[in-house]
Amino acid sequence: MSKWRMITTLTVCLLGSPMLWAKSSLYSNATVLDVDTGQQHGKQYILVEDQHIVYIGSGKPEQNQDTQVIDLEHRFVMPGLIDSHAHMSLGAVSATVRDKQVHLSAYNGADIAAVNANSMLRWGITTIRNPGGDSQANVNYKQSQVQGQVKGPKAFVAGHLLNDLAFAGLVTVVDDELSIANSIEQQSKLGVDYVKLYTGLTEQQLKSAVRHADSYDLQVIAHLEKVNWQTGAQLGIDHIVHAMPLSAELLPEPHKQSFDKSARPGSFRFFEWYELVDLKSAEVAQMINSLREHNVSVDPTLIVFYNAFFGDQDAVTKHPALSEVHPSLLTNWQTFFTFNLGWTDADFKRAQAVWPKVLEFVKMLDQAGVTLTIGTDVGNPWTIPGISLHQEMALMVEAGISEQKVLQMATRNGAYVIDKDAKFGLLKTGYIADFIVLDKNPLLDIKHTQSIHRVVQNGTTVHLQQ
Q: What is the pLDDT of residues 26-45, one digit of tens each?
A: 999 999 999 999 999 999 99
Do you find a cis peptide bond into 254, omega within 30 degrees of 0?
Answer: yes
Total number of residues shown for the chain:
466
Average the pLDDT over each of 6-10, 69-73, 460-464 and give the range with the smallest value.
6-10
pLDDT-based confidence at residue 20 (cuts at 50, 70, 90): very low
> What's the rounded Cα separation, in Å, for the pair 425 and 271?
34
- pLDDT tens per residue across span 132-175: 999 999 999 999 999 999 999 999 999 999 999 999 999 999 99
pLDDT of residue 335: 97
Mean pLDDT calculated for residue range 180-206: 98
pLDDT-based confidence at residue 17 (cuts at 50, 70, 90): very low
pTM over 0.85: yes
Tell me the CA end-to-end span of the chain in Å, nearest whole number: 39
Tell me the domains of the chain and their CATH numbers: 3-79+423-464 (2.30.40.10)
Which positions ≥6 away from 15 have C-beta within 8 Å? none
Q: Using the predicted structure, report yes or no on whether residue 101 has a pLDDT greater than 90.
A: no
Furthest CA-CA distance within the chain: 75
pLDDT of residue 150: 95
Q: What percent of the chain has a predicted confidence (pLDDT) above 70? A: 95
pLDDT of residue 277: 98
- pLDDT tens per residue across span 344-380: 999 999 999 999 999 999 999 999 999 999 999 999 9
Q: Using the predicted structure, report yes or no on whether residue 7 has a pLDDT greater than 80.
A: no
> What's the rounded Cα separation, in Å, for the pair 400 and 359?
8
| SS (HEC) of 25-47 | EEEEEEEEECCCCCCEEEEEEEE
Which positions ≥6 away from 7 have C-beta within 8 Å? none
pLDDT of residue 11: 46
> What's the rounded Cα separation, in Å, for the pair 246 and 240?
13
Q: Sheet containing 154-157: which strands, arranged edge to edge?
A: 81-83, 125-130, 154-157
Using alpha carbons, select from 90, 94, 225, 92 the residue that is nearest to residue 163: 225
pLDDT of residue 8: 47
| SS (HEC) of the chain | CCHHHHHHHHHHHHHCCCCCCCCEEEEEEEEEECCCCCCEEEEEEEEEECCEEEEEECCCCCCCCCCEEEECCCCEEEECEEECCECCCEEEEEEEEECCEEEEEEEECHHHHHHHHHHHHHCCEEEEEECCCCHHHHHHHHHHHHCCCCCCCEEEEECCEEECCCCECCEEECCCHHHHHHHHHHHHHHCCCEEEECCCCCHHHHHHHHHHHHHCCCEEEECCCCCCHHHHHHHCCCEEECCCCCCHHHCCCCHHHHHHHHCCCCCHHHHHHHHHCCCCCHHHHHHHHHHHHCCCEEECCHHHHHHHHCCCCHHHHCCHHHHHCCHHHHHHHHHCCCCCCCCCHHHHHHHHHHHHHHHHHHHHHHHCCCCECCCCCECECCCCCCHHHHHHHHHHHHCCCCHHHHHHHHHHHHHHHHCCCCCCCCCCCCCECCEEEECCCCCCCHHHHHCEEEEEECCEEEEECC
